[in-house]
Chains A and B, each alone.
Chain A
């Protein structure tokens, strides 16, 4: 197991480096002089000279990358063009808010999706299966930001039972989960966020359960006189590694993919920050946020793989 952990980490490392290269190149994808894209338009000649030297814009690109990476490992992503604040501060503040959404969305989505998929997979072809399958297709076909808007229309505009957007009066710093006046702001974004993962997890679970059920050992279990409940427990246990893998991916998507939902609800998370960065053409913030989010995604995948290996010893040897 230990060897597997080491190998898996060694495998994730080059990917993390690759991810950092992609993020680094974003500055070059932006039209115009890369130096201009990381500086405010009104920067003085002096600032330009300092930044140019400090970030090596007068050196070859690989050297620039090395310098940039060196700054990044020290937690320096540069300064935001819009707010002039260090990007690191902006990113970590918003990341915490995104994580809060994800932490609520994950249990809801995973439990609901898994339950739906398990039911459908255990009774393939029956009416429950049809309903679940249909609901799952709807879940993955819905533009979730639109669903967010509809929920706002219904619950905030028509019935006025829930707030439409933002984090409430207390703001990000004083937000408390234990006060309904604050926590109510979480409800609509979390519900919206769970839609796609529920659909995907339900589909995966259904397929995994149906596949396991078709395997020989299930027949053997039945032949041994095991009750249907025990058989289902066995089936679910055998289907779980596959489902877990998809859940891990979905967690990553919830962290990294909430940009649309956060924009709809003006939830001050990383996605919203990204949206602001796009509007302001604030490339350093864009770069920093994307790097942070994708590293979270890489790390999640790593953890999921290790979890999977603990569940299923066969994986360790592969």
Chain B
């Protein structure tokens, strides 16, 4: 290329750049577009929605009071005296308990993840953006919690603090915070040294403004994807805690706890014993598949 060619190039400053206009579409719009063409995710997403709606409208849907016991009607089979799925070991209506159980199971699945996103995400962004000392302090602390198998950590903390929904949520949050923190930290340190962050610093933006406008948008994606995959894990762990007598306490209807109490009657009523597990399984697999779909839709370079 000779100097001449550059000199004779048309002055473009005054002209409008006239490249063909592409369709203007933001990142989230393209994610939504891809999701809308992924029928597996859509179907299972719909099931998740139904499960959530059932949980929300439990009082309207449940045919019986989930706490009402009956001495005569224990462990009755399906259809007995208008109990569609029979009764449990205290004569309570199985279907009503399953419907109400969804409430607690969903709360136990979603609350710890939400808490972990907030705390772990914040710590991760701080760790990713702060200097070496703060980063080391935060990440090495997280490594310690990472060194426990997740169920073990949850059992240890709830085991020490005692049962109850609140303690269960706290211990599960503590299980998820380190992983969340790592995801956020990785995403943050990836964008931290990019040119546009440097340019933002060059225009005099403070750390807080840079994080808010330039970092969060890039961290939320990975964090959200990871969080969505944790919901199913959280539901499984929470029901596991309840199964062990930690987490939800009787007489609350909770799938894990129901499994635990019905287990005593496994020889009498095997089918009834299996039902809460089916509920956990369906919920967990739906969240898993939706999470996979969301990941596939979001994990695209733009």
Contact = CB atoms under 8 A, between A and B. Distances in A.
Direct A–B contact present (CB less than 8 angstroms): yes
Nearest to A154: B270
Interface stretch (A64-72, A137-145, A221-229): A137-145
Main secondary structure of the interface of A (DSSP, over half): helix
Interface in B117-141: 140-141
Given A140-B288, A143-B281, A149-B263, A157 B236 contact: no
Nearest to A143: B280
A15 B147 contact: yes
Contact of B277 (A29, A146, A277): A146
A277 B159 contact: yes
Nearest to B174: A22
B240 A256 contact: no
Contacts of B273: 149, 153
B277 A278 contact: no
B71 to A, nearest CB: 25
A286 interface: yes
A27 B277 contact: no
A141 B281 contact: yes
Nearest to A294: B148
A297 B246 contact: no
A230 B224 CA distance: 40
B32 interface: no
B267 interface: yes
Nearest to B292: A137
B277 A143 contact: yes
A29 B152 contact: no
Interface residues of B, number: 43
A109 interface: no
A60 interface: no
A149 B277 CA distance: 9
A293 interface: yes
A133 B263 CA distance: 31
B161 interface: yes
A6 interface: no
Interface size bracket, A side: 35 or more
A16 B143 CA distance: 10
A177 interface: no
A178 B259 CA distance: 34
A190 interface: no
A275 interface: yes
A150 interface: yes
Contacts of B149: 252-253, 255-257, 293-294, 297
Interface in B229-279: 232, 236, 239-240, 243-246, 256, 259, 263, 266-267, 270, 273-274, 276-277
Nearest to B161: A29
Contact of B145 (A22, A31, A259, A278): A22
Contact of B152 (A16, A153, A294): A294
A164 B27 CA distance: 53
Interface string B144-180: 1101111110011101111000000000000000000
26 contacts: A16-B147, A19-B144, A27-B160, A29-B160, A137-B288, A140-B288, A141-B232, A142-B281, A143-B240, A143-B256, A143-B280, A143-B284, A145-B243, A146-B277, A149-B277, A153-B270, A153-B274, A252-B149, A253-B149, A257-B150, A278-B246, A294-B147, A294-B148, A294-B152, A297-B147, A297-B152
Interface of B: 140-141, 143-145, 147-152, 155-157, 159-162, 232, 236, 239-240, 243-246, 256, 259, 263, 266-267, 270, 273-274, 276-277, 280-281, 284-285, 288-289, 292
Given A22-B145, A277-B159, 19 more contacts: A18-B144, A18-B147, A21-B144, A22-B148, A23-B156, A142-B284, A143-B256, A143-B280, A146-B259, A146-B280, A149-B273, A149-B274, A153-B270, A255-B149, A256-B152, A257-B151, A259-B152, A263-B244, A275-B245
